[in-house]
Structure 1
Amino acid sequence: MSRPSAPSLPSWVTWRQRPFPDANLLLLQGRQPALVDSGFVGHAEETASWARAHGGAVGLVVNTHWHSDHVGGNAILQAGGAGIAAGAPEAEAISRRDPGCCTAEYLDQPVAPYTVDMPLDGGEVLRLGDADWEVIRTPGHTPGHLALWQPEERLLVVGDALSDYDVGWVNLALDGPGAATAALDSLHRMAGLAPRVILPSHGPIPADPTAAFSTALRRAQRLVDDPAGALWYGARRIFAFALMIRDGIPVDEVEPYLHARAWLTDAARLLDLTPEVLAAELVTSMLGSGAVVRRAGRLHAAADHTPVAARSLRVPYPRAWPPARR
């Protein structure tokens, strides 16, 4: 039996699938062109050029959440006149310039400085392009995570809440043991909308939204039922991303790099392991599964990803960002 094709999109929606370390691009065209998420800082200029070529001057960027692969183009787009909208908890932290903004330093994932012009609590209706979109709070992957719902076309932007093949990892160390339950509750609310099209931040548009939600709900329930498994899942995702943005890490530097990471130290504590044991087991298990490969003296992520220029990573952590503009 052949797999059903992906649902059709309205002419005013331009969607581009991108490999890691970037989120997919979603441009909503019309009198008020808007972009949902802006990818990784290493490809910010490419993101801005693509948006201008397909929609003209972007008036607003809506971030589904503040991770580095979703906000990396914010600074360059904001410098070009775009406003930035984001979930209220994350918007407030960015305005205060909290050191933990974007979990950039915690995850060792660079983010160029930006400000948020429009905090979103959920329940707002935004005019994006020429259509109205409802903002839905969907905490779990991050506390400020948002979804966007276009009821006439039944389009649902889901951020990292789910994809055609996965669900977003949850940070039990920073966000508490309830993060997995929050993510599951958010999925149930989104599934209840019965969208015609799911627009995820990673991977292809699911051909069968009902099946995609069914799979996501099962996987999210496992994260609730197995906190240790959720911690391992997050560690694998974070480490793979670190390898992607650095063109791999020399084999003899991998474990010292991991020992210095706050996310690994926190995961080890919750798993009742030492950071050294967790780092060694993480590397061994990912090599064994094929998620990581050894090549020319370096460990690399095996998943498809786009190279990043090393110079693009040289941006300050949020604790050194300039004050937010007023």
Structure 2
Amino acid sequence: MTVHSLPSWLVWQQRPFPDANLLLLPGRHAAMVDSGFVGHAPETAAWVMARTRRLDLVVNTHWHSDHVGGNALLQSLGAGIVASVVDADALQRRDAGCCVSEYLDQPVPQYSVDRRVSDGQVLRLGEADWEVIRTPGHTPGHLALWQPEERLLVVGDALSDYDVGWVNLALDGVEASRTALESLERLADLSARVLLPSHGPLPEDAGAALAAAIRRAQRLVDDPAGAVWYGARRVFAYALMIRGGIPVDDVETYLLDRDWLLDGARLLNCDADDFAGDLVAAMLRAGSVVHRDGRLHAAAEHTPVTSESIDVPLPRAWPAVAHHQ
């Protein structure tokens, strides 16, 4: 499957980390799915406005920083934010867990949800109707979008052509892996023609990609310790990406200050110091992180961000806002 197989009323762009891919649906009800990382919010907004005179909606598949980072800017330009009921309710509480921003040490600028959506609701996006499909697992509020006429399936972080979304067993419980697997099985039942993932290219074969994702998700169910390691590697690599690396001498201190690292050590029944050291050593052996210029860097392709662009208040410091329906 290639980008050229997409309908003409849809604009899609693959982007490297720390951003999510862009999906724009121009038309009478102009909308986009997710908004990328805050460090590239101006570039995201410029890309959108170059392709549509206005943007009515931003639909978030879930509230992680690489999916909602452009929300605030696009909302200030007139777009309404659409999110799952689960994410909208938690966002309204403005607690320390909002967007998992503080827990993961990933910046998210303040935004509010204008419309809450539930499983089975239909949204008019661009020139087509899309059905909301609840797909918890990667996060409790994760959702997918299904366009039945063209058999297009927006999968968010449920899967990509090379991976499945990591699961947070510490915050979401040991059943999170099973929940993610069940969501993938539900998506497979739709027999999509094209999968639109948030990361990586369009899978060439939608059915094969879903089948592979189901096998990967089953491994997370069967191996909870492996699921903890998988999540830790993903979160730490992302931290290195958005910070331009971390000085080698500061890596241990950084990790031991992170709640996700401490929770991982608890779930693995090991000392946090040992887990931090083993994590770095394992990622160095795998080539997923590298030493360069006295810093530890993520090896995966990613676009740099400035330190100023990620200097935003934590969600617990956001002022309360009126609840939107």
Give the TM-score of the pair, scaled to structure 1.
Answer: 0.98
8 Å Cα contact 1:38-1:44 kept in structure 2:
yes
Residue 12 of structure 2: aligned partner? 15
Q: How does 1:283-302 map to 2 (within 5 A)?
A: 283-302=280-299
SS of alignment partner, residue 126 of structure 1: strand
Partner of 2:171: 174
Report the equivalent of 2:31: 34
Tell me which amino acid in the other structure corresponds to 1:87: S
The 1-side partners of 2:253 and 2:96 are apart by 23
Equivalent in the alignment of 1:130: 127
d(CA) in 1 for partners of 2:55, 2:95:
27
The one of 279, 282, 293 aligned to 2:279: 282
Distance in 2 between the 1:325 and 1:244 partners? Answer: 34
Partner residue of 2:230?
Answer: 233
Q: Does 1:56 align with 2:53?
A: yes
On the 8 A contact 2:2/2:202 being kept in 1, the answer is: no
Aligned to 2:106: 109
Structure 2 residue aligned with 1:160: 157
Q: Is the CA contact (8 Å cut-off) linking 2:57 and 2:80 kept in structure 1?
A: yes
> Is 2:187 the partner of 1:190?
yes
Three-state SS of the structure 1 residue aligned to 2:103 is helix
Q: How big is the shift at 1:181?
A: 0.4
Q: Distance in 2 between matches of 1:292 and 1:318?
A: 29
Select 2:252's aligned residue among 255, 278, 282.
255
Post-superposition CA distance 1:5-39 (Å, at most 9, x none): 56710111000000000000000111111010000
* Equivalent of residue 100 in structure 1, options 97, 100, 108: 97
| Residue from 193, 211, 214 that aligns with 2:211 | 214
Q: Give structure 1 stretches of 5+ with no counterpart.
A: none
Counterpart of 1:121? Answer: 118
Matched, 1:82 2:79: yes
Q: CA deviation at 1:214?
A: 1.1
Q: The residue matched to 1:158 in structure 2 has which SS?
A: strand
User: Identity across aligned pairs (percent)?
Assistant: 68
The CA distance in 2 between the partners of 1:224 and 1:121, in whole Å, is: 26
For 1:178 and 1:126, locate their aligned partners in 2 and report how far apart those are by CA, in whole Å.
30
Three-state SS of the structure 1 residue aligned to 2:199 is: coil
Are the equivalent residues in 2 in contact too, given 1:87–1:119 (CA < 8 A)? yes
Number of positions where the alignment pairs a residue of Structure 1 with one of Structure 2: 323
Structure 2 Cα separation of the partners of residues 168 and 54 of structure 1: 30
| 1:91–1:116 CA contact under 8 A, matched in 2 | yes
Q: Following TM superposition, by how much is the alpha carbon of 1:285 offset from its aligned partner in structure 2, in angstroms?
A: 0.5
Secondary structure at the residue paired with 1:55? coil
How much does 1:126 deviate? 0.2
**Cα distance in 1 between the residues matched to 2:232 and 2:294:** 22
Distance 1:7 1:217, change over 3 A: farther
RMSD over aligned CA atoms reads 0.9
Stretches of structure 2 lacking an aligned partner (at least 5 in a row) = none
| Residues 26 and 36, structure 1, Cα contact 8 Å, conserved in 2 | yes
CA contact (8 A) 1:155 1:196 kept: yes
Out of 137-146 and 95-104, give the one that drifted further: 95-104
User: 1:56 offset after TM fit, Å?
Assistant: 2.1
